[in-house]
Structure 1
Amino acid sequence: MVKRILKFLLLTVVSLLIIILAFYAFVSWDFAQRANQSYSYEAHAPEVVYDSTNLVLGKHLAIIKGCTDCHGQDLGGKVMIDDPALGRLVPSNLTRGEGGIGAQYSLQDWVRALRHGVGPDQKPLLFMPAHETANMTDRDMSALLAYCTQVAAVDQQLPQLEIRPIGKLLNFFGKMHMFPVEMIDHDFLPPADMDKSVSPAFGEYLAVSCTGCHYSNFKGGSPQIPNSPPVADITSSGNLARWSERDFIQALRTGQTPEGKHMQNEFMPWQMTKEFTDEELKSLYIFLKNQP
């Protein structure tokens, strides 16, 4: 009797292992298929003017859009995460220095990357949040391109990006988006410019940068990166129900919430949001406060 039970348990364990391995083999195949998919998009680069006004705006956008948060203050790239199970996430060296992509990228390549999430080889740029820059106005895109293409060269060779088993599984279940190219409306025609005075419309334009963590409905929930705290609801059903505009601005400028909590920058990048102008923060508050 005992031998039968042990035999049954052994067969059950073996069967489960076979099922798990077969499922992971499918997940890995699916990831490879999507990673090697070719995309062909025309990239219409706006006129890029390298004057002081454009460069100042471009630097500001590089900060508030998270470029410097991921690629480093000098845009020289860095290893963001190197986890044996999740993977090695390595935002590129964007400069013209050794190991950088700046010398190889044309303006059209930059636009394809920022508007479509696709590299010069027509393959998806993994984990590059192009869905947050795809809808930028031509005016802002021009300024960002001006800044990024003239930034000082940084000589830095970085290791290859690598997505490991847990990363592939999280991507498969929609918990970690490795293919932003699949999230973009590639037929969208960006406006030439927009009114940047305080308004809900300007706030909505800015809030796309919040969707990477807080999701498209801004309700937050489970984090996209394992071992991170839950993501806050930043709509009227969350803290904004109690926060005044002044509270909101103080939290995003200092990292201190009205409740006395200090936000850790690695989970809520207030060192980035503190660079928003008053008009930008007020517009963002109005927009988020009006979300149900």
Structure 2
Amino acid sequence: MVKRILKIVLFSVLSVVLLLLLFYVYVSWDFNQRAKKSYTYDVSVPKISYDSANLVLGEHLSVIKGCRDCHENDLGGRVLIDDPALGRLVPPNLTKGENGIGSQYSHEDWVRALRHGVGPDQKPLLFMPAHETANMTEKDMAALIAYCTQASPVTRSLPEIEIRPVGKLLNFFGKMHMLPVEIIDHDFVPLADMDKRVSPEFGEYLAVSCTGCHYSTFKGGSPQIPDSPPVADITSSGNLARWSEADFIQTLRTGKTPEGKIMQNEFMPWKMTSAFTDDELKSLYLFLKNQQ
């Protein structure tokens, strides 16, 4: 009797293991097929100007859009994450130095990457958060491209990006977007420019950069990267129910909340948000405060 029960248990366990293995084989195959899919988009290239005002704006955008958080301050790229289960995530060298994409990308390629998450080969750019730059105005897009294309050449040898089992599973379940091309509204028509005076509308434009971690609802929840802390609710049903505008600005400038909590930059990039102007932070506060 005991032997029979053990055989049944062993068979059940092996069956579950086999089913899980088959499921992962499907997930891996599905991811690889989607990663090889070709996308063709006609793009409109804004006028790229290299005057000083435009380059200053582009530099500012490279900080508040997180470009330098991922690609390093010199835009030369780095290994952002190398986890045996999740994958090796490697934002590339954006400059015209050796191994940099800057010498290979045309202005059309830059727009295609930033608006659609697609490379010059028409294949998806892995882990490139184009869903956070797709809505940029023509003016901001032009300034960011101008700044990136004139960056000092950096020569840096980097390994290839590699999405491993956990990364593929998280992507399959929509928990981590390894293929942002799939979640972008490719019919979106960008504004020529944006009124950057303090307003909820300007705040909404800026808040797109928050959706990568706090989700489109801004209510946070489970982290997208395993072993990271839960993501905070940044709407009026979360911390903003208690925080004043001054509290909000102080938190995003210093990384210290009104309650005295010190935020770790790798989980909440306050060193990036500290570069926001007062008007940008006030606008962001107005927008998020109005989110229920």
Q: Same fold (TM over 0.5)?
A: yes
Q: Is the 8 A contact 1:63 1:275 kept in 2?
A: yes
* Alignment-derived partner of residue 153 in structure 1: 153
* Alignment-derived partner of residue 284 in structure 2: 284
* Alignment-derived partner of residue 47 in structure 1: 47
* Alignment-derived partner of residue 175 in structure 1: 175
* Alignment-derived partner of residue 16 in structure 1: 16
Shift of 1:64: 0.1
Residues 147-200 of structure 1, C-alpha deviations (whole Å, 9 max, x = no match):
000000000010000011111111111111111111111111111101000000
Shift of 1:49: 0.4
Partner Cα distance (1:119, 1:285) in 2: 34
* Alignment-derived partner of residue 100 in structure 1: 100
Residues 16-75 of structure 1, C-alpha deviations (whole Å, 9 max, x = no match):
111011100110111011101110001211000000000000000000000000000000
Q: Which runs of 4+ in 1 moved over 6 A?
A: none
Aligned counterparts, 1:75-114, within 5 A: 75-114=75-114
Aligned counterparts, 1:200-239, within 5 A: 200-239=200-239
SS at match of 1:82: strand
Shift of 1:239: 0.4
Partner Cα distance (1:290, 1:3) in 2: 64
Partner Cα distance (1:274, 1:3) in 2: 65
SS at match of 1:102: helix
SS at match of 2:18: helix
Q: Which stretch shifts more, 39-48 or 5-14?
A: 5-14
SS at match of 2:88: strand
Residues 207-241 of structure 1, C-alpha deviations (whole Å, 9 max, x = no match):
00000000000000000000100000000000000
* Alignment-derived partner of residue 27 in structure 1: 27
Does residue 57 of the first structure (1) align with residue 91 of the second (2)? no
Aligned counterparts, 1:260-275, within 5 A: 260-275=260-275
Shift of 1:2: 2.2
Partner Cα distance (2:173, 2:288) in 1: 27
Aligned counterparts, 1:129-148, within 5 A: 129-148=129-148
Relative to the length of structure 2, the TM-score reads: 0.99
Aligned-residue CA RMSD in angstroms?
0.6
Relative to the length of structure 1, the TM-score reads: 0.99
* Alignment-derived partner of residue 73 in structure 1: 73
Partner Cα distance (2:141, 2:171) in 1: 29
Structure 1, unmatched stretches of 5+, are none
Q: Is the 8 A contact 1:100 1:157 kept in 2?
A: no
SS at match of 1:198: coil
- Name the amino acid aligned to 2:212: G
